[in-house]
Amino acid sequence: MESKNNKLLEKRMLNSKINVRNPIVMAPMTTFSGNDDGTVSKAELDYYKVRAKSVGMVITATTYVIPSGKGFKGQFAAYDDSFLDSLKELAETIKNEGAVAILQIFHAGRMALPDEIPTGQTISASAVAAERPGAMTPRAMTEEEIQDIIKAFGKTTELAIKAGFDGVEIHGANTYLLQQFFSPHSNRREDNWGGNLERRMNFPLAVIEEVKKVVKEKAGNDFIVGYRFSPEEIENPGITLEDTLSFIDVLSDKGLSYLHASLSDFWQGSMRDKSNVEPIITKILNQIHGRVPLIGVGSIYTADDAIKALDAGVEFLSLGREIIMEPDWMTKVEMGKSSEIRTNLKKSDRELLKIPEPLWNAIMNTQGWFPIVE
């Protein structure tokens, strides 16, 4: 094994006692491949099994905490006890390979699929449509609905505990409901849940509080609670980096196990201010100031890419597209074969790489998403 890669093999600790065998994390990526009844499919279990065998931690594709929150076709569900056996299978599949198993939980809000939710009417902080073609205008949530969804995050956390997961990641990124409450674009409320920056934090903070309460009652200090966030929005008004740094300052003192940035490129500067080229990740790390571990992400392909990113100061590094293309990424690093890491997809690779067919079709039909060769 190349000595320069030793940094990729160093163990990490979460919650001061949970051993993670290395800093490489499988990023949460939807598979579109769940069964029609909302359970995890055999193809998904096979997909996770081959990718969990050497990474330190696996964060699953996101699952929805209440029927109104479904954001993808073929998304597996986790909103009541009928899904418990399915969730147990997923947790066991990941943990049996030695990785820490994290269930990502969310509500899609105005990004939910009208045809896939009970009423056909999306909901959000306010009745403001997303800036995308054909977007439905959501209905502003009532106080009762807000409280119900907060409780639903707690219920799904309890299911994750019963199923044997090591933790949950609260999905507050990628334009979904928690981000919608934080965003001045989607949140025009003037009550306790909106109106200024501090009140726009209240909904995600209430979800965190509920999740942590359930964890304290049902699991104790060993259970991981992470939070994922997107640093900026391009909409006006939209989330600014200054907004996010203020939020991170609050989140860093909430007793979370980790924070997880959502970035397309680890080293990217501001999307909103193109003249501001200082890496966002550097500003985030400076704001956290060592109070909580940070998972970085974004266009990391090779071992050298990963080492450079870890040297920036993040404790963990999540790989998304690269782990889809190369399930044996960490194994090849461990064996001193990092030069053999696959960094593109061949059109004949699907069965070899255990990629579920719906995910494969999405990859093949989305130009520019993955590097594809004949």
- What CATH number did the domain enclosing 39 receive? 3.20.20.70
**pLDDT tens series, the chain, 374 aa:** 456 788 999 999 999 889 999 999 999 999 999 999 999 999 999 999 999 999 999 999 999 999 999 999 999 999 999 999 999 999 999 999 999 999 999 999 999 999 999 999 999 999 999 999 999 999 999 999 999 999 999 999 999 999 999 999 999 999 999 999 999 999 999 999 999 999 999 999 999 999 999 999 999 889 999 999 999 999 999 999 999 999 999 999 999 999 999 999 999 999 999 899 999 999 999 999 999 999 999 999 999 999 999 999 999 999 999 999 999 999 999 999 999 999 999 999 999 999 999 999 999 999 999 999 98
CA distance 66 to 98: 30
Separation of alpha carbons 364 and 102, rounded Å: 28
* Annotated catalytic residue, options 176, 227, 258, 301: 176
Residues with Cβ within 8 Å of 177's Cβ and at least 6 positions away in sequence, in order, are 69, 106, 107, 108, 109, 110, 124, 125, 149
Q: Which residues, other chains included, contact 199 with Cβ-Cβ below 8 Å and sequence gap of 6+?
A: 189, 191, 192, 193
Neighbour count for residue 247 (Cβ, 10 Å): 23
64 given a catalytic annotation: no
| Domain hosting residue 75, numbered range | 3-373
Based on the structure, what is the number of domains in the chain? 1
Can you state the angle between helices 84-95 and 42-52, rounded to 10 degrees? 30
Helix (H) or strand (E) segment spanning residue 26: strand 24-26
